[in-house]
């Protein structure tokens, strides 16, 4: 009955000068029925006033009332236009970050470790949409070369469905409530094939049916989504940077002390060749890579070192049957001095600082003692899936937080013994910077 009465009232307006406003308000009020009662009262009151006047005066009043009502309707529409975004707004998932197992562009079979804090009870399904822009509920362009179609999966007991090359749906094994930390791995991803920032849009739902209706431009096609947020990612040739939408994380490295504010001035490749003329000696030979990091992530950022030389963690001889057999220059796994004839490989970290905030060492890495955290089995440490944390950003040397132009100089050292087999030794290393926003 209430619906019919509302339709009748708007039919009475359809022939008046308010017809356009009436039709538009009719559509709006269908979605916001709690405003309907007040508007009906206004219409009825105007009708009673008109009936109490003479025919001539009533016509004048109709014209005046129509103009006034038109003004009221326009004001109402402006009010609705102001309120509707707030009514549709979702909460933002917090503490969101994504760590990658490889920082190399166009790398295949990469695992994305996704973490965020849910904001709504009974969060059951999550959609991840990888785009070149960050804003949720806008059209999405997939990053060039990015692909989830080859072996996409998860190792956490959740159910993952590939929607298209850049979109996946994850149905959680157990629903998460507000403040619960949600964490899952996505496996089998191919990184973008060009440098540049791309974004992971995170959108949560109460069930898999609503999540299955997701589109980039309208996440609420089937059911209204719970919460959302975005994470900014940058895959480069040797560096992988992750951070949250609307926040910044800049990280760079150079083979010379040439970096200026904001990662400017970098022209020297960070590739190192140790030894005189590239020839190692029984005494220690060293080389330094200079790094800079800036971020406004409230939880700071961590830089990890990853080595592709699994089963070794040191320098491997070219042409060896495998890394274990070719591991002629081993990692120094206890912080200390690399003695002459030791045939060891390690790193010290110096030059910690920042123009705002400062960097700080992580784990057992040291400013004077060489160290390389290799763990047998490759489950963790420098050959682990996500590398080994070597330094982090802080506000005061201990509290994780934002930083501007934070610095850390990584000095790698190695030597040989008289029995080290001849050959060219190398380690393929990369640095991964991960921010927590």
For residue range 394-407, what is the model confidence (pLDDT) as tens digits?
999 999 999 999 99
Nearby residues of 384 by Cβ (< 8 Å), 6 or more positions away: 306, 375, 378
Supply φ then ψ for residue 292, to 5 degrees.
-145, 140
Q: Write down the pLDDT at residue 277.
A: 93
CB 170 within 8 A of CB 176: no
How many angstroms separate the CA atoms of 251 and 348, rounded? 19
The predicted-structure confidence for 274-316, as pLDDT tens digits, reads as follows 999 999 999 999 999 999 999 999 999 999 999 999 999 999 9
Q: Which of 88, 105, 136 is the last residue of a domain?
A: 88
Q: Say yes or no: 228 and 312 in one domain.
A: no
Alpha-carbon separation of residue 144 from 109, 198, 216, 232 (angstroms): 16, 10, 17, 16
Tens digit of each residue's pLDDT (9 = 90 or more) over 345-386: 999 999 999 999 999 999 999 999 999 999 999 999 999 999
Same domain, 226 and 275: no
Q: Distance of CA 68 to CAs 22, 71, 72, 80, 178, Å?
A: 14, 5, 6, 18, 47
The domain that holds 426 is classified in CATH as 2.60.40
Q: Which residues contact 47 (CB under 8 A, 6 or more apart)?
A: none
In a domain, 242, yes or no: no
pLDDT of residue 242: 36
Q: Specify whether the CB–CB gap between 211 and 205 falls below 8 A.
A: yes
**Residues 95, 203: one domain?**
yes
Identify whether residues 254 and 366 lie together within a single domain. Answer: yes
Query: Rounded to an integer, what distance in angstroms lies between the CA atom of residue 348 and that of residue 410?
Result: 6
Give the structural domain span for 167.
Answer: 91-235
pLDDT at 151: 62
pLDDT score at 387: 95
Residues 359 and 431 in one domain: yes
Does residue 191 lie in a domain region?
yes
Residue 17 pLDDT: 43
- The verdict on residue 336 lying in a domain is yes
Three-state DSSP class for 7? helix
What is the rounded distance in angstroms from the CA atom of residue 235 to the CA atom of residue 434?
Answer: 12
Question: Does 241 map to a domain?
Answer: no
- So what's the pLDDT on residue 35? 41
Instruction: Tell me the β-bridge partners of 431.
Output: 239, 305
Euclidean distance between CA atoms 307 and 314, whole angstroms: 8
Largest CA distance in the chain: 117
Residues 395 and 365 in one domain: yes
How far apart are alpha carbons 340 and 259 in whole angstroms? Answer: 33
Whether residue 291 sits in one domain with residue 144: no
Give pLDDT < 50 ranges for the chain: 1-40, 42-43, 50, 53-66, 69-70, 72-75, 77-88, 239-245
- Does the predicted TM-score (pTM) go above 0.75? no
CB within 8 A of 347, min separation 6: which ones? 305, 365, 370, 371, 372, 390, 410, 411, 412, 413
Phi first, then psi: give them for residue 199, nearest 5 degrees. Answer: -130, 145
Q: Are residues 405 and 428 in the same domain?
A: yes
Q: What total of structural domains would you count in the chain?
A: 3
pLDDT at 324: 95
- Residues 354 and 366 occupy one common structural domain: yes
DSSP code per residue over 64-110: HHHHHHHHHHHHHHHHHHHHHHHHHPPEEPEEEEEEES--STT-SSE
């Amino acid at each position: 009955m209430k619906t019919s009465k509302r339709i009748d009232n708007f039919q009475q307006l359809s022939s008046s000068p308010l017809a356009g406003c009436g039709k538009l308000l009719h559509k709006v009020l269908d979605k916001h029925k709690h405003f309907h009662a007040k508007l009906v009262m206004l219409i009825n009151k105007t009708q009673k006033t008109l009936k109490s006047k003479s025919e001539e005066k009533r016509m004048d009043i109709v014209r005046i009332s129509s103009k006034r009502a038109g003004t009221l309707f326009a004001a109402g529409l402006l009010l609705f236009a102001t309120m509707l975004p707030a009514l549709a707004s979702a909460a933002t998932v917090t503490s969101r970050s994504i760590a990658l197992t490889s920082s190399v562009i166009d790398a295949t079979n990469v695992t994305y470790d996704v973490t965020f804090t849910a904001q709504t009870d009974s969060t059951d399904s999550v959609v991840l949409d990888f785009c070149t822009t960050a804003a949720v509920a806008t059209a999405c362009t997939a990053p060039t070369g990015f692909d989830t179609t080859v072996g996409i999966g998860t190792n956490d007991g959740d159910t993952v469905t590939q929607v298209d090359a850049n979109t996946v749906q994850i149905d959680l094994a157990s629903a998460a409530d507000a403040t619960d930390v949600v964490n899952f791995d996505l496996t089998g991803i191919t990184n973008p094939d060009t440098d540049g920032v791309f974004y992971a849009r995170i959108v949560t739902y109460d069930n898999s049916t609503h999540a299955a209706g997701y589109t980039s431009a309208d996440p609420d096609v089937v059911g209204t989504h719970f919460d959302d947020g975005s994470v900014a990612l940058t895959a480069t040739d040797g560096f992988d940077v992750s951070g949250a939408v609307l926040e910044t994380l800049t990280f760079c490295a150079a083979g010379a002390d040439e970096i200026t504010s904001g990662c400017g001035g970098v022209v020297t490749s960070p590739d190192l060749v140790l030894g005189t003329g590239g020839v190692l000696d029984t005494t220690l030979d060293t080389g330094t890579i200079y790094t800079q990091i800036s971020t406004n992530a409230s939880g700071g950022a961590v830089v990890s070192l990853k080595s592709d030389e699994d089963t070794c963690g040191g320098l491997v001889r070219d042409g060896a049957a495998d890394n274990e057999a070719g591991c002629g220059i081993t990692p120094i796994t206890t912080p200390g001095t690399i003695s002459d004839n030791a045939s060891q490989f390690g790193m010290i970290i110096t030059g910690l600082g920042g123009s705002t905030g400062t960097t700080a060492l992580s784990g057992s890495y040291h400013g004077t003692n060489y160290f390389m955290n290799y763990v047998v089995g490759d489950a963790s440490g420098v050959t682990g899936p996500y590398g080994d944390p070597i330094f982090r950003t802080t506000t005061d040397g201990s509290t994780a937080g934002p930083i501007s132009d934070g610095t850390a100089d990584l000095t790698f050292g190695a030597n040989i013994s008289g029995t080290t087999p001849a050959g060219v030794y190398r380690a393929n290393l990369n640095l991964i910077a991960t921010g927590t926003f």
